A and B are shown apart, each in its own frame.
Chain A
Amino acid sequence: MVTPTPVQNADLTARFPNILIPDSRPGFSGWLLDKSNLLEFATVLRDEFGYDYLSSVAGVDYLPEGKMEVAYQLYKTTGGPGLLFKVQVPRQDPVEIPSLVSIYPGAEFQEREAWDLLGIKFTGHPDLRRILMWEGFAGFPLRKDWREPYFEEESKPYKNRWPDGKIVMAESNNIFDDNIAYPSDFDPENHTFDPERALYDSLRAFQKNEVGLNSDHIIVNLGPQHPSTHGVFRVAVILDGETIVSLRPVMGYLHRNHEKIGERNTYIMNMPYTDRLDYLASMSNNFGYALAVEKLMAIKPPERAEYIRVIMAEMTRISNHLFLIGTLLNDLGAYFTPMLYALEERELILDIFEAVAGSRMMCNYFRFGGVARDLSDEILQKIEEIFFERLPGRIDELDRFLSENEIIRSRGIGQGVLTAEDAIRYSAAGPLLRASGIPYDVRRAEPYSVYDRFEFDVCTRKHGDVYDRLMLRFDEIRQSIRIIQQAVKQIPGGPVLSVKPMYQVRVPPGEAYGRVEGPKGELGFYLVSNGKPNPWRYHVRAPSFINLTAFGPMCIGQKIADLVAVLGSVDIVLGEVDR
C-alpha cells in the first residue's frame, strides 16, 4: 500500500494550475479535467492528498451535447467530504478513457459496467468484458439513443394510459418491432458464437505456479443454479486439485437495467423501484434515493421524519444482518436451526415494517421531504418493547449459540482474508471494510440525517476473515439497537412531511450524489437532472456489486469448499448486484 503523505494546506488548484476546470454548469460541482491528465491526477490524489478510496464510477451520456462523461467520486478512509471529478470525451465511437484500475483496483467492475452499458472503453483495463449483459450483445443499453424491447415512449407517464386507456397487454406487442437493430455483419444463418469464450479466456489468464505436482487444472462452474449463491450468481473457477487458482464472478442473470427504467420513470416512481434493489434492505435504499433527490430539490425533512428514517434504517440493518447470519450458517452446513433462530427475530421487525409502510419487504416508505405516513404511538410502543426488552437478549443468545462453536471457528478463522490495504484498494464497503480493520462508516465519516446526534461505535474487527465478518454483524446489530433505543427516546412530535405531497415533483437541473451506510456498505445514488420530470441519469452505486470486486482476490488459494463460506460472508443480494 502506498502510504499517503498528506500535504499541508493542500490546494488542488495550486497543485494542478492549468488542468483543473471547475464544473460550472448550474447545479453541478466538482472538477472537469482532460482524459490525458487523468492517470497523473488520480495518482497524485491518492498518494499526496490521501484520497485512497474510489467510491463510485458513473458514466453519463450527454446526448444533446454530444459528450460522454465519467464522474468519479473519491473519499478518504480517514473521513471527511469527498471529491468529485469528471472526464468528458466526445460521443463518437470509440469513446475512450484511460482506466483507473492500476491506481484504484476497485474501479474494475464499475468500469466494466460503464463499458457494458454505455460503451465507454477504458484503455488499459485488464479485463474489459461485458459484465451485466452477455457477451455477444450488440449495443449499449444505457445510451440515450438505445431503446429496449417493449419500448413505448421516452419517459413515463405514457400517453395511451389516460384519458383514452384502451388496455393493451404488454405481451401482445411485438418486441421485435422497429426498435431492434442488428449489427451490419450479422448473418443469422451462419452465426456461430461462443458467448462463454471471453469468460474462459479471461479465467485462464492467471500466473501458473510450476512448483509441486504438475496436475491438471479443471474448470468448475458454481451456479447460477446453486443454493449457496443466494440467487442467480455464478462463479467460474479453475481448480488445482481442490485449490482455487483463478476465479471470475459471472453476473447479470437478474439484470433488468434498473437504471434505464429509472431514467424513464419520474422521480417519485423510482421510490418503489429502489425497494427491489437490495430487497432485504428496502428502507435503506429508499433513504439513499430520498437523500439524493432532496439534495437536488434543496429541501429537508422535518425533525420527526428524520428520526423515523433513522429508526427504520437501523431496523433494516438489523434484519439484514440477522438474515446474513442465518444464511451464512446455512452455507457453512448448519442447516436451518441458526437460520430460523435469526429469522424469528427478523420476523418481528418485518411485522413493524408491515404496520408502518404497508409491506414487509417492499416498503416504499420514504418521500422527498419526509416519510409517507406517521408512526402511531402503538407502533412506537411495539418498537420500544422489542428493542428494549426482547432483541438485546435474543442477540446475546444467538451469539452464545454460534460464536464459540469450534466448527464455525475452524471454518471461519483465517479463511477468505482481505487485508486492510486490499479492502481499501478494492473499494470494499461496509462490513467487509470494517471487518478488515478500517473504521469507515458513512454515518460517522459524513453524517447524514440526524446520525450526528446518536452515540454509537463504528465497529471493527482485525483479521478480515470469514469469522470476523460474521462477528462484526453481531457488533453492528448491537450498535443499531443502541441507536434505535436513543432515537425512540428522543423522537419529537410534529409533521412528517415538510412539503406538500405531489405526484410529480419539480427538480431543478443539476447533479447530486446521495449516499447512506446501507447494511451492505455505502449505497449511493448519482442523479443528474435536466429539469424535466424524469432524471436524465440515475446511477446506483451498489455496495454488494462493488464488494464482489474483492471476492476473487479473497478466494485465490482457498479450497473450493470455502468459496461458499467466503461468498456468504460478503453478503450479496442479487437484486442489487445485477440491478
Chain B
Amino acid sequence: MNGMYGKGILKGLKVSFLRFVDTYLDDLRWIGKRYRTPQGIAHRGSKGARGIFTVQYPEEKIPVPEEFRFIPFLVYNEGPNGEKNLLCTSCGICSKVCPPQCIWIERMVDSSTGRPKPDPAEFFIDADICMNCGLCAEFCPFDAIKMDHNYELASYGRDIYDKSRLSKSTQYYESVRPDNAARENSARAAKQAARTGVANIN
C-alpha cells in the first residue's frame, strides 16, 4: 500500500464529518420548516436532500403517490335516498384473476325468478391473504373495484372485509385517485356518447 497507513480511513472519516456538518447546515437553512411540514417532508425525499433523511413516522407521514395500492375497495354511487349503488356487477373477473384467490363473491339471485342478477349479494376479501397486487382493479371492466391508499390496518384479529366494509363512495375514489378517476370518467363519457350517437359532447 502506498502512502501512510490509515489515510483511507481518514478520507472516509472526512466524508462522514462533512455529512455531519451538513445535517446542521441543512437544519439551519430550513429552520422551523424542515420537520412536520409538507414541504419539509418533500424536501427530504427530493434530489437536493441533505442531512437527516428520516421521516418521523407517525408524527410525519410521506404522502403516498396516486398509484399506491393497498387492499381493494368497492366503489358505489350514492342514490337520491342515500342508497349505495355498487358499480360491481358480480361478473367475477376480479375473483378469477386474483393470484392468492382471496376474493369471494356471492352473486345476487332474483328471489321471484331464481335468475342471477348483476349485483353482488355478498363480497368478501380476505385481507390477510390479499397480496396488494392490484390485478383485480386493473382488470375490472366496470371500474368497480379499486385499490385503496390506507395502509394503517394493524389489527389484533383476522381481517375479512365484507361488502359493507369494502364499499366506498365515488367521491372517496375521486379524492384518492383523481387522475385515474378523471381518465375513466372521460373514457366512459366518450363511450356513452358513441352509443347514444352524440358526436361531440364538448
Contacts and interface: CB of A to CB of B under 8 A. Distances in A.
Interface of A: 152, 156-158, 160-167, 169-170, 265-266, 268-273, 337, 340-341, 344, 347-348, 351, 354-359, 362, 364, 372-373, 382, 385-386, 389-390, 397, 400-409, 501, 503-504
Contacts of A156: 99, 101
Contacts of A372: 138
B99 to A, nearest CB: 4
Contacts of B9: 405-407
Contacts of A406: 1, 5-9
B47 interface: yes
Contact of B45 (A157, A351, A389, A501): A351
B99 A405 contact: no
A484 to B, nearest CB: 14
A359 B65 CA distance: 9
B43 interface: no
A111 B201 CA distance: 65
Given A162-B96, A164-B106, A406-B5, A362 B131 contact: yes
B15 A348 contact: no
Interface in B90-129: 90, 92-93, 95-99, 101, 103-107, 116, 122, 124, 126, 129
Contacts of B158: 169
B8 A397 contact: no
Given A364-B134, A372-B138, A404 B96 contact: no
B18 to A, nearest CB: 9
Contacts of B35: none
A405 B104 contact: no
A287 to B, nearest CB: 17
Given A161-B103, A165-B104, A272-B135, A354 B45 contact: no
B104 A390 contact: no
B170 interface: no
A358 B67 contact: yes
Nearest to A376: B179
Contacts of B160: 167, 169
A383 to B, nearest CB: 10
A503 B97 contact: yes
Interface in B140-170: 147, 158, 160
Given A162-B92, A164-B106, A373 B134 contact: no
A408 B98 CA distance: 47
Given A163-B106, A165-B105, A167-B104, 17 more contacts: A162-B103, A164-B106, A165-B103, A165-B104, A269-B97, A337-B16, A354-B64, A355-B67, A358-B147, A359-B68, A364-B135, A397-B15, A405-B8, A406-B8, A408-B8, A409-B1, A503-B139
Contact of A163 (B99, B105, B129): B105
Contacts of B99: 156, 265, 269-270, 272-273
Interface string B25-42: 000000000000000000
Interface residues of B, number: 51
B195 interface: no
Contact of B47 (A160, A390, A405): A390
A156 B6 CA distance: 61
B47 A385 contact: yes
Contacts of A351: 45
A409 B3 CA distance: 14
B69 interface: yes
A386 B47 contact: yes
A348 B95 contact: no
Nearest to B131: A272
A269 B96 CA distance: 10
A358 B103 contact: no
Contacts of A404: 7-8, 11-12
B133 interface: yes
A497 to B, nearest CB: 11
A155 B26 CA distance: 56
Interface centre among B92, B104, B126 (most CB of A within 10 A): B104
A390 B158 CA distance: 44
A268 B134 CA distance: 12
Given A165-B105, A402-B12, A354 B65 contact: yes
A503 B124 contact: no
12 contacts: A157-B101, A161-B103, A162-B95, A163-B116, A170-B126, A273-B99, A348-B49, A355-B67, A357-B67, A358-B68, A364-B133, A503-B96
Contacts of A382: 47
Nearest to B108: A163
B172 interface: no
Contacts of A265: 99
A405 B12 contact: yes
B104 to A, nearest CB: 3
Contacts of B122: 165
Interface centre among A354, A359, A501 (most CB of B within 10 A): A359
Given A358-B147, A400-B12, A163 B134 contact: no
Contacts of B24: none
Contact of B16 (A163, A271, A386, A401): A401
B77 interface: no
Contacts of A166: 104, 106
A389 B92 CA distance: 48
Given A163-B106, A169-B126, A405-B12, A158 B47 contact: no
Nearest to A272: B133
Given A161-B103, A162-B95, A166-B104, A362 B133 contact: yes
A408 B9 CA distance: 9
Interface string B41-76: 000010111000100000000001111110000000
A271 B135 CA distance: 10
Sorted from nearest, which 5 A-B pairs have the closest CB atoms? A404-B8, A165-B104, A272-B133, A162-B92, A163-B107
Contacts of B45: 347-348, 351
Contact of A344 (B53, B69, B107, B126): B53
A345 B158 CA distance: 36
A501 B97 contact: no
A520 B67 CA distance: 28
A167 B138 CA distance: 23
A348 B47 CA distance: 8
Given A164-B107, A358-B67, A358-B68, A268 B135 contact: yes
Contacts of B23: none
